[in-house]
Amino acid sequence: MPRLNAPAPDAAPGGAKGVLDQVGAQFGFVPNLFATLASNPTVLDVVMTLQTTLSRVLDAKTRHTIALAVSEASGCDYCLALHSYVSSELGGMSSEEIDLARAGRSTDPKRAAVARFAQQVVDFHGQVSDADLAEVRSAGYTDPQILSIVTVAVQVLLTNFINNVNQTGIDFPDVPPIGTTR
């Protein structure tokens, strides 16, 4: 049960109503995360601005891979469900690719390095080793791209933390633990 109050979409304060309408049009409903964020239009704006801005860094499958790896590492069931849905339905990722990303792996060596690195960033609170940096660099990532990876990971952590604090009700298809049948 959610621990923070979320206004009804039609009662959202300030400019949040317009944002919720846009999100609702994209998903066909207003996901609980965005309804919760609407209680503070400034926070909603921050999250939406970060998501929009970061959609210009890295390719979509790489961003989805980071989101899945980070959400698994931080134990956010809501974000795992949301990112699994988005990765599958909008990102064209297979169930196998989604499970691998959650496990910090991929069949694509470059995305595998990103998934591992993103999980290291979370697990070690950004204090990654020289070997971690060398591994992501050897996969072909430049220092500006590594900054993008870290920034996407932190943006995902922001919503992971909000949903973990709130215990946001999952309104996307549940995802089973890694390695179980879908």
| Mean pLDDT within 165-180 | 90
pLDDT at 14: 81
pLDDT averaged over every residue in the chain: 95
pLDDT at 179: 67
The CATH code for residues 60-166 is: 1.20.1290.10
Residue 180 scores a pLDDT above 70: no
Reported as a single tens digit per residue, the pLDDT across 130-154 is 999 999 999 999 999 999 999 999 9
Q: How far is CA 52 from CA 11, 85, 142, 152, in A?
A: 24, 18, 22, 11
pLDDT at 76: 97
pLDDT at 160: 98
Reported as a single tens digit per residue, the pLDDT across 98-127 is 999 999 999 999 999 999 999 999 999 999
Reported as a single tens digit per residue, the pLDDT across 24-75 is 999 999 999 999 999 999 999 999 999 999 999 999 999 999 999 999 999 9
Region label for 178, one of left (φ > 0), alpha (ψ between -120 and 50) or beta (otherwise): beta
Tokens linked to 96:
């196998």
For 82, how many CA atoms within 13 A lie in the half-sphere containing its CB?
22
- The domain segmentation of the chain, as residue ranges, is 13-54, 60-166
Listing DSSP states for 66-113 in one string gives HHHHHHHHHT-HHHHHHHHHHHHHTT---HHHHHHHHTT--SSHHHHH
For 135, how many CA atoms within 13 A lie in the half-sphere containing its CB?
15
Tokens 């050897």 appear where?
Answer: 138
Q: From 125, 105, 120, 109, select the one nearest 65 (Cα to Cα).
A: 105
